[in-house]
Amino acid sequence: MAGMSPRTVRGSGLKNQGALLLLLLLVLCFLSAHGEEPGLYDYILTDGKGKEVTLAPYRGRILVLEFFATWCPPCKKALPRTASLQEKYPTNKVTFLAVSADGSSNTAQMVPRFIEEMGLKIPVLVGGALFIDRYAGIEERTGRRIVLPQTYVFGGDGQMLLRLVGEQKTKAKQLAAELDQILKEAAS
C-alpha cells in the first residue's frame, strides 16, 4: 500500500475502503496468476462527483494524462498550460485529462475547489493508489517517490508514447509538437 498515509486507512470509511481494497487485491491476484498486469483501461479512478470510472471510454484516442496534486506549486503553473492545449485538438482524436495524485483521504473535497481556482475545462479524475504507483511512482534508492507534475501521452491502444516529468518551461510547446507528429504519422 505504498503511497497511502495512515489517515487514508482510518476513519468512518474504513468498511468501504476495506471492501474496495479486497476487490482490488482479488483483481490483481487474478491478473498476476494469469501473468497479466492491469492495462491503462483497467484501473478504477473517481470523477469529481465521487463516481468510479475507468479510462475505457477513451480507447482509440490519443490520451494525455496530466498528473498533479493540489499542494504542488509547479502543478499549479503547468496544469492550466497543458489543459489549454485541448482547444487545439478535436476531443475525438486527442483527449486531455487531469489526474489528482493527492494522497489524503479528503482529496474528493479539495479537488473541486482546486479545479475552480485553476479554471480547468478538461475532465479531472482522482487516481487510485495502484494507478498512481504504476504511472507516477519513481523508484529511488530510498523507496518510492512521486515527482509532479507528470504528463503522459498514450496511443489509442493504451501504449505509452511519451512521458514528461517535473516542471519544464517549454513543456506545452514540446507536448504540442509531439502530438502534432503523432497525428501526422497516424494520418499517413
Nearest to 31 by CA among 19, 15, 43: 43
Instruction: Decide if 97 contacts 127 (C-beta within 8 A).
Output: no
Q: Report the pLDDT averaged over residues 133-143.
A: 68
Q: Report the pLDDT averaged over residues 46-67.
A: 93
36 pLDDT band (50/70/90 cuts)? low
Residue 19 above 80 pLDDT?
A: no
Enter the C-alpha cell of residue 117: 481556482
What's the per-residue H, E or C state across the chain?
Answer: CCCCCHHHHCCCCHHHHHHHHHHHHHHHHHHHHCCCCCCHHHCCEECCCCCEECCHHHCCCEEEEEEECCCCHHHHHHHHHHHHHHHHCCCCCEEEEEEECCCCCCHHHHHHHHHHHHCCCCCEEECCHHHHHHHHEEEECCEEEECCCEEEEECCCCCEEEEEECCCCCHHHHHHHHHHHHHHHHHC
Enter the C-alpha cell of residue 20: 474496495
Please tell me the pTM assigned to this model: 0.76
Q: What is the pLDDT of residues 122-137, one digit of tens each?
A: 999 998 878 888 887 7
Nearest to 93 by CA among 179, 168, 2, 163: 179
59 pLDDT band (50/70/90 cuts)? very high
9 pLDDT band (50/70/90 cuts)? very low
Q: What is the amino acid identity at position 20? A: L
Four-point Cα dihedral 86, 88, 91, 93, nearest 10? -120
Enter the C-alpha cell of residue 93: 482524436
Residue carrying C-alpha cell 513543456: 171
